[in-house]
Amino acid sequence: MQLDIRLPIGLMFLLLGLVLAVFGLVGDKSQYKSSLGINVNLWWGLVMLGFGLVMFLLGRRGSATARLTEDSPEGVKLEEKEAERAAES
Amino acid sequence: MNLTFVDWTIMVIYFAFVLGIGVALKRYMKTSTDFFLSGRSIPAWITGLAFISANLGAQEVIGMGASGAKYGIATSHFYWIGAIPAMVFVGIFMMPFYYGSRARSVPEYLKLRFDEKTRGLNAISFAVMTIFSSGISLYAMGLLLNVLLGWSFSFSILMAAVIVLIYVFMGGLTSAIYNEVLQFFLIVFGFAPLVFLGLRDAGGWAGLQTRLTDVATANGYGSGAWTHSWQYMGAPTSNPMGVEWFGLAMGLGFVLSFGYWCTDFLVVQRAMAAKSMSAARRTPLIAAVPKMFFPFLVILPGMIAIALTYKAGGSGFSLPKKLDGTFNYDLAIPMMLGHYFPSGMLGVGLTALMASFMSGMAGNVTAFNTVWTYDIYQSYIKRGASDEHYLWMGRMATVFGIAVSVAAAYVATRFNNIMDMLQLIFAFVNAPLFATFLLGMFWKRTTGHGAFFGLVAGTVAASIHHGLTLPAGAVAGIKGGWFAVQHIYPSEMAQNFWTAIFAWTSCFVVTILISLVTRARKESELVGLVYSLTERPKDDERRWFQRPATLAVLVLLAAVILNIIFW
């Protein structure tokens, strides 16, 4: 019912990965001297893109989420116990 | 460091998602249980990642990098003998009482187990400490971003404070936890390439080892002092930390680590939000898995930085120095980011750094608003109000808490010593805590008077010990010795460890003595709160990797193996 946490994580990494990878392809190549000649933007961007995709696809299952207290057995028990304690004192 | 358009784009994307999570969760905050405890409904892997992420504040990233440069691989003791055993202990042995008692916070457990005054002492000291800790980390962030990017101090801290305020205010603990998981991944992805590039520059692991041999001998230690974690712990003079194995194992491994991981509500709150007893017990165990590999992410860059400083690599990186000519260790990781990362990746790295500041701050803020609302406001100021009222108070406490943190950060810019002093007092208050919980949970005879006066005695013992000792080379004052100098420790770290050992032992002994002469509570009142009177939780999960006990054994085994590899 609520937001599966993997959706925002997946989407964010998809976007970040895309930005990095595209920049790695079209951006100025001379700046990779500092990263030992490796185009980290392109490679790491692709890795992040892949991670984002996996997270996003898993997130569509909708199982990794918090629930409302009223839909959570332990949450309900906690509120009952609290009401009991409040009545006692 | 100069940021370009692509770096800004990355930063803006991150901020948009962090705030978006808060907005998306706002409508699920219906009761105070939703806001402060996420309705006790979150799966274990999420609370587990939030558990370490809340602790992964900037002090960890910056501080561990600095220690890696200063002390080498021995810094990993903070993980492999410090955090991991304590996390296993809290999951297996303590979570049944925290979670099973249906306490809503750590101080509330103390109220159920002991009495009102013990809860009050813990709640008030915790609330003050957590809000000032958040101020201290804001201050650190303001300084760092000013040095790195030239941003104004006010802009940096207000930006971070407002973002954290918005997402916690709207989505409560759930929003903090969701964002902590997001931040966890961002931190891992932001720093991993740094380790790869740094290691490559230093000539791989073998190259790093040879370089670190130079570092060790140049500083007057045995050749492996930077690359072995235990071999040089025989005497304090043979390792750069200046500690010996007993002080290390007892002070750090036992007192300080168990005190933090087992009693600090900042982390325990994450486990309390899990959806079942089994999930709550697995929370710290799942957290322990990435935690034990963090040394490779945060300590290794520091080691690489110092190695390249003594013997330059191909790219010419070296650590910056302070005005007095000593190395500025705190800049090890930030400077490496600037050195190795091109535009684009630099944006990711800096955003990860900011994420670590924010996750730590949000952790403090959610712990504060819960303790304030349940343990202080509801208990002493306004009892019996409606749930809507307490939910409203939680949101107000979020605003208030963040405002005080910001104020504290500004105070720190004028009076740096005040922050050092506060941290010292926190250490005195925290050191004895684990003795109280250990006795409370495992000895049914422990009484409320015993617990309260034990805690006070522990704090007093810590301050007396600190007042009588001094680390080598320091001047009496904030570093200790303000009564009289009776003993000189080889290093500040050794002094800290022994202060903790004295505090813990005093609390332990005094609690037992006073408990024996005061009246114990009826056993029927202690069911669910004390080990011997509580039914063991059954490991009824079907799959082996979901059983807390199995996980615990695997985690401990892995920690032992890591200790042996880097012996």
The three-class DSSP label of residue B32 is helix
Distance between CA atoms of residues A68 and A57, nearest Å: 24
Identify the CA nearest to B491 among candidates B279, B208, B207, B239: B239
Q: Is the per-residue pLDDT at A1 higher than 60? A: no
pLDDT at B416: 67
Contacts of A24 in chain B (CB under 8 A): 344
Interface test with A, best of B12, B34, B41 (most A CBs within 10 A): B41
Strands B487-489 and B469-471: what pairing? parallel
pLDDT at B272: 95
A1 domain-assigned = no
Distance between CA atoms of residues B454 and A66, nearest Å: 39
| Structural domain for A54, as ranges | 6-88
Provide the residue type at B270 as one letter.
Answer: R
Q: How many CB atoms lie within 10 A of CB B61?
A: 25
Tokens representing residue B400 in the block: 């208030």
List the Cα angle A46/A49/A55 in 5-degree steps. 145
Q: How many CB atoms lie within 10 A of CB B186?
A: 29
Question: Where is average pLDDT lowest: B73-82, B130-139, B474-483, B490-499?
Answer: B474-483
* Mean predicted confidence (pLDDT) in B55-78: 86
A30 domain-assigned = yes
List the Cα angle B308/B57/B378 in 5-degree steps. 170
A19 domain-assigned = yes
Torsion angle of C-alpha atoms B331, B141, B417, B376, degrees rounded to 10: -140
Distance between CA atoms of residues B412 and B424, nearest Å: 15
Cross-strand pairs, B488:
B470
* Mean predicted confidence (pLDDT) in B452-468: 93
DSSP state, residue B239: S
pLDDT at A55: 94
Contacts of B345 in chain A (CB under 8 A): 20, 35, 40-41, 44
The three-class DSSP label of residue B274 is strand
A77 domain-assigned = yes
Question: Where is average pLDDT lowest: A19-23, A32-36, A43-47, B520-524?
Answer: A32-36
Judged by CB atoms closer than 8 Å, whether chains meet at B193 and A40 is answered as: yes
Question: Where is average pLDDT lowest: B297-301, B393-397, B429-433, B437-441?
Answer: B429-433
Domain count, chain A: 1
- The answer to whether B179 and B356 have CB atoms below 8 angstroms apart is no
Confidence of residue B425 (pLDDT cuts 50, 70, 90): confident
Distance between CA atoms of residues B559 and B289, nearest Å: 9
Q: Between B155 and B425, whose confidence is greater?
A: B155
Q: Which helix (H) or strand (E) holds B487?
A: strand B487-489
* Mean predicted confidence (pLDDT) in B528-537: 84
Torsion angle of C-alpha atoms B266, B268, B270, B272, degrees rounded to 10: -140
Q: Using CB atoms, which residue from B43, B181, B197 is nearest to A36?
A: B197
Tokens representing residue A80 in the block: 């009952």
Judged by CB atoms closer than 8 Å, whether chains meet at A2 and B275 is answered as: no
Question: Where is average pLDDT lowest: B128-137, B371-380, B544-553?
Answer: B544-553
ipTM of predicted assembly, 2 dp: 0.95
- The answer to whether A5 contacts chain B (CB < 8 Å) is yes
Torsion angle of C-alpha atoms B561, B562, B565, B567, degrees rounded to 10: -110
What domains are defined for chain B? 5-18+43-414+536-565 (1.20.1730.10), 423-535 (no CATH)
Cross-strand pairs, B321:
B327
Confidence of residue B318 (pLDDT cuts 50, 70, 90): confident
Question: Where is average pLDDT lowest: B65-74, B108-117, B373-382, B511-520?
Answer: B65-74
Contacts of A2 in chain B (CB under 8 A): 25, 28
Distance between CA atoms of residues B487 and B494, nearest Å: 12
pLDDT at B541: 67
Q: Which helix (H) or strand (E) holds B406?
A: helix B387-414
Q: Output the DSSP codes for B306-326.
A: HHHHHS--TT-----B-TTSS
Instruction: Check residue B322 and give left, alpha or beta (phi > 0: left; psi -120 to 50: alpha).
Output: beta
- The answer to whether B92 and B552 have CB atoms below 8 angstroms apart is yes
CA B73 → CA B96, B206, B217, B254, B300, distances in Å?
35, 14, 15, 20, 8
Q: Is the per-residue pLDDT at B506 higher than 60? A: yes
Q: By CB neighbour count within 10 A (0-12 exposed, 13-18 middle, 19+ buried), where does B511 fall?
A: buried
Confidence of residue B162 (pLDDT cuts 50, 70, 90): very high
Question: Where is average pLDDT lowest: B173-177, B250-254, B354-358, B395-399?
Answer: B250-254
Q: Is the per-residue pLDDT at B136 higher than 80? A: yes
A55 domain-assigned = yes
Dihedral sign for Cα atoms in the order B215, B218, B224, B228: negative
Judged by CB atoms closer than 8 Å, whether chains meet at B25 and A3 is answered as: yes
Contacts of A48 in chain B (CB under 8 A): 189, 348
Residues 6+ apart with CB under 8 A from B275: A67, A72, A74, B40, B41, B42, B43, B44
Contacts of B202-207 spanning 24+ positions with Cβ under 8 A: B202/B304, B202/B307, B202/B308, B202/B313, B203/B313
* Mean predicted confidence (pLDDT) in B377-385: 91
Q: How many CB atoms lie within 10 A of CB A11?
A: 17
- The answer to whether A44 contacts chain B (CB < 8 Å) is yes
Where does B239-338 show beta strands of DSSP type E?
Answer: none
Interface test with B, best of A68, A76, A89 (most B CBs within 10 A): A68
